[in-house]
Amino acid sequence: MPDLSHGDDAAAVNSLRSAVMRLSRRLKHQRVDESLSPTEMSVLGTLARCGNATPGELARKEHVQPPSMTRIVALLEAKGLVRLEPHPDDRRQKVVTQTEQAETMLEESRRKRNAWLARIAEELDDDEWAKLRDAAPVLEKLAHL
Protein backbone atom coordinates (compact mmCIF):
# COMPACT_ATOMS: atom_id res chain seq x y z
CA MET A 1 0.00 0.00 0.00
CA PRO A 2 1.43 3.41 -0.91
CA ASP A 3 2.71 5.54 1.93
CA LEU A 4 2.23 9.15 0.85
CA SER A 5 4.54 10.34 3.63
CA HIS A 6 7.33 8.37 1.93
CA GLY A 7 8.95 10.42 -0.83
CA ASP A 8 9.24 7.61 -3.40
CA ASP A 9 5.61 6.50 -2.94
CA ALA A 10 4.31 10.07 -3.07
CA ALA A 11 6.28 10.73 -6.26
CA ALA A 12 5.04 7.47 -7.84
CA VAL A 13 1.40 8.28 -6.98
CA ASN A 14 1.80 11.78 -8.40
CA SER A 15 3.43 10.46 -11.57
CA LEU A 16 0.75 7.77 -12.04
CA ARG A 17 -2.07 10.30 -11.56
CA SER A 18 -0.54 12.71 -14.02
CA ALA A 19 0.17 10.05 -16.66
CA VAL A 20 -3.29 8.48 -16.40
CA MET A 21 -4.97 11.87 -16.70
CA ARG A 22 -2.91 12.88 -19.77
CA LEU A 23 -3.48 9.53 -21.46
CA SER A 24 -7.21 9.70 -20.68
CA ARG A 25 -7.49 13.18 -22.21
CA ARG A 26 -5.69 12.03 -25.35
CA LEU A 27 -7.93 8.96 -25.64
CA LYS A 28 -11.05 11.10 -25.25
CA HIS A 29 -10.01 13.04 -28.36
CA GLN A 30 -10.18 9.82 -30.39
CA ARG A 31 -13.98 9.87 -30.51
CA VAL A 32 -16.09 8.68 -33.42
CA ASP A 33 -19.07 10.92 -32.65
CA GLU A 34 -18.06 14.44 -31.66
CA SER A 35 -21.68 15.37 -30.91
CA LEU A 36 -21.67 13.31 -27.71
CA SER A 37 -20.27 14.70 -24.48
CA PRO A 38 -17.76 12.64 -22.50
CA THR A 39 -20.51 12.08 -19.92
CA GLU A 40 -22.91 10.75 -22.55
CA MET A 41 -20.18 8.42 -23.85
CA SER A 42 -19.51 7.27 -20.29
CA VAL A 43 -23.18 6.43 -19.73
CA LEU A 44 -23.26 4.41 -22.96
CA GLY A 45 -20.09 2.63 -21.87
CA THR A 46 -21.64 1.81 -18.51
CA LEU A 47 -24.72 0.37 -20.21
CA ALA A 48 -22.48 -1.71 -22.48
CA ARG A 49 -20.45 -3.05 -19.52
CA CYS A 50 -23.21 -3.47 -16.93
CA GLY A 51 -26.35 -3.98 -19.01
CA ASN A 52 -29.71 -2.27 -18.73
CA ALA A 53 -30.26 -0.05 -15.70
CA THR A 54 -32.69 2.41 -14.20
CA PRO A 55 -31.74 6.09 -14.36
CA GLY A 56 -31.13 5.97 -10.59
CA GLU A 57 -28.72 3.04 -10.95
CA LEU A 58 -26.91 4.85 -13.75
CA ALA A 59 -26.66 8.00 -11.64
CA ARG A 60 -24.99 6.02 -8.85
CA LYS A 61 -22.58 4.28 -11.22
CA GLU A 62 -21.69 7.54 -12.94
CA HIS A 63 -21.49 9.53 -9.68
CA VAL A 64 -24.01 12.18 -10.76
CA GLN A 65 -27.25 13.37 -9.24
CA PRO A 66 -30.45 11.64 -10.44
CA PRO A 67 -31.90 14.81 -12.07
CA SER A 68 -28.68 15.15 -14.10
CA MET A 69 -28.94 11.54 -15.23
CA THR A 70 -32.57 12.07 -16.22
CA ARG A 71 -31.42 14.89 -18.54
CA ILE A 72 -28.54 12.81 -19.94
CA VAL A 73 -30.86 9.87 -20.65
CA ALA A 74 -33.34 12.21 -22.37
CA LEU A 75 -30.56 13.56 -24.61
CA LEU A 76 -29.39 10.04 -25.47
CA GLU A 77 -32.96 8.97 -26.18
CA ALA A 78 -33.48 11.96 -28.49
CA LYS A 79 -30.33 10.92 -30.39
CA GLY A 80 -31.66 7.38 -30.78
CA LEU A 81 -28.92 5.84 -28.63
CA VAL A 82 -31.07 4.56 -25.75
CA ARG A 83 -34.69 3.69 -25.21
CA LEU A 84 -36.74 3.67 -22.03
CA GLU A 85 -38.70 0.53 -21.32
CA PRO A 86 -41.07 -0.35 -18.48
CA HIS A 87 -39.38 -1.80 -15.41
CA PRO A 88 -40.33 -5.50 -15.11
CA ASP A 89 -41.04 -5.28 -11.37
CA ASP A 90 -41.85 -1.63 -10.64
CA ARG A 91 -44.24 0.26 -12.93
CA ARG A 92 -43.09 3.58 -11.43
CA GLN A 93 -39.63 3.14 -12.93
CA LYS A 94 -38.14 2.83 -16.39
CA VAL A 95 -35.17 0.81 -17.57
CA VAL A 96 -32.59 2.39 -19.89
CA THR A 97 -31.50 0.13 -22.76
CA GLN A 98 -28.93 1.03 -25.38
CA THR A 99 -29.93 0.73 -29.03
CA GLU A 100 -28.14 -1.05 -31.87
CA GLN A 101 -27.01 2.37 -33.08
CA ALA A 102 -25.25 2.94 -29.72
CA GLU A 103 -23.65 -0.51 -29.82
CA THR A 104 -22.31 0.15 -33.32
CA MET A 105 -21.01 3.59 -32.37
CA LEU A 106 -19.31 2.25 -29.23
CA GLU A 107 -17.65 -0.55 -31.22
CA GLU A 108 -16.36 1.95 -33.81
CA SER A 109 -15.10 4.18 -31.00
CA ARG A 110 -13.31 1.25 -29.32
CA ARG A 111 -11.69 0.27 -32.62
CA LYS A 112 -10.51 3.84 -33.25
CA ARG A 113 -9.14 4.27 -29.71
CA ASN A 114 -7.48 0.84 -29.70
CA ALA A 115 -5.82 1.57 -33.07
CA TRP A 116 -4.55 4.93 -31.78
CA LEU A 117 -3.21 3.36 -28.58
CA ALA A 118 -1.57 0.51 -30.53
CA ARG A 119 0.12 3.08 -32.80
CA ILE A 120 1.64 5.03 -29.93
CA ALA A 121 2.56 1.82 -28.07
CA GLU A 122 4.76 0.90 -31.05
CA GLU A 123 7.20 3.46 -29.63
CA LEU A 124 7.75 1.26 -26.56
CA ASP A 125 10.53 -1.30 -26.42
CA ASP A 126 9.72 -4.95 -25.63
CA ASP A 127 10.45 -4.56 -21.91
CA GLU A 128 8.26 -1.43 -21.59
CA TRP A 129 5.42 -3.13 -23.48
CA ALA A 130 5.63 -6.22 -21.22
CA LYS A 131 5.47 -4.02 -18.11
CA LEU A 132 2.50 -2.11 -19.46
CA ARG A 133 0.70 -5.31 -20.46
CA ASP A 134 1.28 -6.70 -16.96
CA ALA A 135 0.03 -3.44 -15.39
CA ALA A 136 -3.24 -3.39 -17.37
CA PRO A 137 -5.20 -5.63 -14.92
CA VAL A 138 -4.00 -3.55 -11.98
CA LEU A 139 -5.06 -0.31 -13.68
CA GLU A 140 -8.42 -1.92 -14.51
CA LYS A 141 -8.87 -2.81 -10.84
CA LEU A 142 -8.04 0.75 -9.75
CA ALA A 143 -10.51 2.15 -12.29
CA HIS A 144 -13.37 0.15 -10.73
CA LEU A 145 -12.64 0.59 -7.00
Number of domains in the chain: 1
Distance CA 129, CA 83 (A): 41
Does some domain include residue 1? Answer: no
Q: Which pLDDT tens digits describe the chain residue by residue (145 residues)?
A: 666 666 778 888 889 999 999 998 888 877 777 788 888 989 999 999 999 999 999 999 999 999 999 999 999 999 999 999 998 888 888 999 999 999 999 999 889 999 999 999 999 999 999 999 999 999 989 887 7
For Cα atoms 82, 88, 91, give the angle at the middle one, nearest 5 degrees: 90
Does some domain include residue 19? Answer: no
Does some domain include residue 15? Answer: no
Residue 82 three-state SS = strand
Does some domain include residue 60? Answer: yes
Range of the domain at 112: 31-143
Task: Give the CB-side neighbour count of residue 126, counting CA atoms within 13 A.
Answer: 0
Does some domain include residue 7? Answer: no
DSSP assignment letter at 53: B
Does some domain include residue 132? Answer: yes
pTM comes to 0.74
Q: Supply the CATH number for residue 132's domain.
A: 1.10.10.10
